[in-house]
A and B are shown apart, each in its own frame.
Chain A
Amino acid sequence: MLRLFAKTLKTGVVTERFKKPQDSELEQLGIKIKRRINKYFKGSLAIRAVDVGSCNGCELEIHALNNPFYDVERFGIHFVASPRHADVLLVTGPVSRHMQTALLRTYAATPDPKWVVAVGDCAVCGGEFGINYASCGAVENVIPVDVVIPGCPPTPETLIKGLLGLMK
């Protein structure tokens, strides 16, 4: 136990500071925000991550948001286990046709008001896979999208800026 505390103390706080991004900065990152979140949600955002066909690269970077460097919980952003608890669906991957109904149902299960964030090139425009017999391509081909965060995969920094931009 002593070793554990010693290491924790020695490591200290590595969490980095993030400023609310300016519109020009978001534009530079290619992040498009169509709607801002209702002011009542700005201090607390419950996110349900939905992978509908990603290669799992985007998941790795979304995971990184919870590491001690980014620690998104301090902004009131937390990941929840059910769409019924969520304000935001964070959708990754081109929508595989086998996940199409699951995505529609997840969207329907999310209570209003709700927002959809398409994360990664595949979710934004279909990416490497595009539209084919097994893939519907971009998320907006299946459900309405409010924010797009491109990148293959987007870095955790881009993801945070996109989410903070939405909450501004």
Chain B
Amino acid sequence: MSNDVSNWQQKFLTQLQSMTVPVEVSGLPNMARWQISADYWQAFAEQAVQQSLRWVAGWAEQQDSQFFINAVFEKQGQYLLLRTTVPADKAELPSQAGVYPAANRSERHTQDMFGVQFSGHPDNRRWLRHKAWKKHEYPLRKEFAIDNECAEVAEPDLDYQFVKARGSGVYEIPVGPVHAGIIEPGHFRFQAVGETILNLEERFGYVHKGIEKTAEDKTPEQLLRLAGRVSGDSTVAHSWAACQAMEQAAGVTIPLRAAFLRGILLERERIANHLGDIGAICNDVGFAFAQMQFSRLRELWLRSHGKIFGHRLLMDCIVPGGVRFTLNEAVCESMQQEIVKLRKELDEILPALDLNSSLEDRLYTAGYLSEKTAAAFGAVGFVGRASGQDFDVRRDSPCAPYDQISFLVALEHQGDVASRLWIRVKESFSALKLLRRMLTQLPEGEEKGIWKTPPEHSEGVGIIEGWRGEIFTYVRFAKANKIARFYPRDPSVLNWPVLEKIVLNNIVPDFPVCNKSVNGSYSGHDL
């Protein structure tokens, strides 16, 4: 395996050199870093897509009078950081979005926040920026103050150019930002004929609250509080990813016991969210039995979180270098019993779902995502895995404790709402198994290692399989233990664009269940 892995990078490098693309090779501890000239930015993407590399994340960073532009790719669990430099006074480079649709919104994010122009971008409308700051102001540039002067009431964003559809019988449905349910704000613009959806366009940025800017100058502890609130339902995953990035930058290795305890938190978070989602998907097609049963199971699960870890959603349990709590044997034993009990309940409830014909009628074939589209958009997590994308960070690029425990990654090829429901069931089962083994194999030792102040400019990345999928976080340190740059890439960034494809040719009333089957985070996306 490891030979194959180094092979693709070596082959790719040779190919680039044969095309006379100069590449400066260096590395972070867990990934290669290739620096190329900005002129070749797009050419690189064209080669990368041919080699079937997956686009993972993109972000920029200012250092003095230049910008670093970064993109990360992955193949066979091996990550590659691509970097180029452009001068701040002429920040322009060719776009990768024409090749990788996943890079589309990310580049628009960089365009809005840094004023970097991506030439040849297929759609360079603004994305995160509405009207709260002016057109030629760029919040993540150093000269932009975090308390930049604002209008008393920010102007609403009324002139965003949505895609139009014309023709007899075509009508438009605007939805949001304030939705009918208890959910986050965002705008959906449908074009429909009768009940059939012709097109859906998402418009986000409503919950943009300046997370990247706020992160600057924070200490590691302060950053963790913030990272734990990038998306509340993924607080463990985001905290761990941020911590892993900071620990890599600082050269801190966490004790094995701490890694296991983090693993326990992560799997518990996964189960809590899957339980909630399974019930909610059924509820969106009017099957209240499942909603009541699963919300009951979720509540019981959350109550143990509160009792054992002191927080129902597990916020702030992870600290730089380790975790903030310990588990004694009695608690481990009670958790084992809880797992057996939950498994038994699921075995009673799930057949009732499986045998219900009205549920089957609504969920099967609804919201179909083909394997081809999933691959083209780089869909991750259960959305990708329900459409044949066989990737899981825990198996393919594991950190401790996942490198010590083998497990089966659930995979489906059907790609519909039912598939995304049942893959959650399978993932919950495998998470319960993982949890049992982590509790059994929990090593003795410290819960927290010693923190070292990282050198100025040191950088690190964190890659964690949260319950939604792969989270990629980048951190760079400034002087004196302070953060210079924090970029968390939530899996929703990759999965939201896929929803626009999933709903095509479905009926408008099925949108809620299609949306719930993907369940993207607005907060994690908008930052």
Q: Which residues on A are within 8 Å of B, measured CB to CB? A: 3-4, 7-8, 10-11, 14, 49-64, 66-69, 79, 81-83, 93-94, 96-102, 104, 106, 127-135, 152-153, 155
Contact = CB atoms under 8 A, between A and B. Distances in A.
A98 B210 contact: no
Contacts of A100: 132, 153-154
B295 A128 contact: no
Given A55-B231, A97-B132, A102 B210 contact: no
The 7 closest A-B pairs by CB, nearest first: A57-B232, A97-B132, A81-B180, A67-B295, A134-B210, A55-B232, A97-B154
Interface in B156-206: 156-157, 177-178, 180-185, 205-206
Given A3-B351, A3-B352, A54-B232, A153 B313 contact: yes
By DSSP majority rule, is chain A's interface helix, strand, loop, or mixed? mixed
Interface of B: 130-133, 139, 144-148, 150, 153-157, 177-178, 180-185, 205-211, 213-214, 225-226, 229-233, 235, 276, 289, 292-293, 295-296, 298-299, 302, 306, 312-313, 315, 348-349, 351-352, 355-356, 521-523, 526
A135 B226 CA distance: 15
Q: State the main secondary structure of chain B at its contact with A.
A: loop
Contacts of A102: 156, 177-178, 185, 206
Nearest to B154: A97
Nearest to A134: B210
A64 B177 contact: no
A77 to B, nearest CB: 13
Given A14-B296, A100-B154, A101-B156, A133 B207 contact: no
A52 B206 CA distance: 8
Contact of A55 (B147, B292, B293, B523): B523
Given A64-B302, A102-B185, A133 B229 contact: no
Contact of B208 (A81, A127, A134): A134
B232 A101 contact: no
Contacts of A4: 289, 352, 356
Given A133-B148, A134-B139, 7 more contacts: A7-B289, A50-B178, A57-B313, A127-B229, A129-B210, A130-B214, A133-B133
